[in-house]
Structure 1
Amino acid sequence: MPPHPLACTWSMPYPGVARLTVTGELDYDSQPALVRTAREMLAAQPDCRSVRLDCGGLSFCDSSGLAALLMVDRLVRSAGAALQLDNRSPELDRLLRRTNLLAHFTGSAAENAQQHRDS
């Protein structure tokens, strides 16, 4: 099967809320595009407080892709915003579970980070 190149787009559906949509494969070769797009989006929208990363079109994610998600999370937190992964596939959830990162992106760790920012 030929690889599906990664495409990253972003929009601001609501004030303070950014939607970053990814489609294709998130791997070693494509992960810089995701990090670059997130960095550009946050620079263009300094009032952003919530980033919704739409993973519905993500067809593959390897360990480099997972590292990119962590880098995006770090960038988002540094900007004072919260990251939420939307439309996760069962495969992505499995990868997050196996690496003990599911709670980081979806559970108590994400909620604790938001509470810390709010205090």
Structure 2
Amino acid sequence: MTPPSPLACTWTTPRPRTVRLTVRGELDYDSQHLLVRTAREMLAAHPECRSVRLDCGELGFCDSSGLAGLLMVSRLVRSAGASLYLDNRSAELDRLLRRTNLLDHFTAPTAETTHRRQDS
């Protein structure tokens, strides 16, 4: 059995108004506060942000507390007027999101996104 991998969160700004938040390690009861705090700090540092790309490619584990953290990040991002995208999701994360009926919450277009597409 491999030892738990502590969560690490970093962000970059690959494009104007876009922030990429990368998570590495395990997202659980002990670490979800770090993700939420990092997202809050990131949004405060980039008030012009309209797109948050949460890179889950190196997320090793996510439990129900981790899902609660993802939901909190989603609320923070939407409150800031931005959209959240979960990039590089593993099959395990997709299964967990499907099982908890959260996949559409994180992957379906928001009403604002749909409205913008119709105006284009």
Instruction: Please give the secondary structure, in 1, of the residue aligned with 2:110.
Output: helix
The corresponding residue for 2:51 is: 50
Matches within 5 A, 1:1-119: 1-107=2-108, 110-115=109-114
TM-score (norm 1): 0.93
Q: Match for 1:51: what amino acid?
A: V
Identity among equivalent pairs (%): 74
Q: What's the CA shift string for 1:17-64, capped at 9, x where partnerless?
A: 000000000000000000000000000000000000000000000000
How many residues matched? Answer: 117
Instruction: Please give the secondary structure, in 2, of the residue aligned with 1:83.
Output: strand
Indicate if the aligned counterparts of 1:80 and 1:117 stay in contact, CA closer than 8 A. Answer: no
Question: How far apart are residue 113 of structure 1 and its match?
Answer: 4.6
TM-score (norm 2): 0.92
The structure with the larger Rg is 2
Question: How far apart are residue 116 of structure 1 and its match?
Answer: 6.2
Note the residue ranges of structure 2 that are not aligned, 5 or more in a row. none
Note the residue ranges of structure 1 that are not aligned, 5 or more in a row. none
Return the alpha-carbon distance in structure 2 between the equivalents of residues 66 and 52 of structure 1: 16
Return the alpha-carbon distance in structure 1 between the equivalents of residues 53 and 33 of structure 2: 19
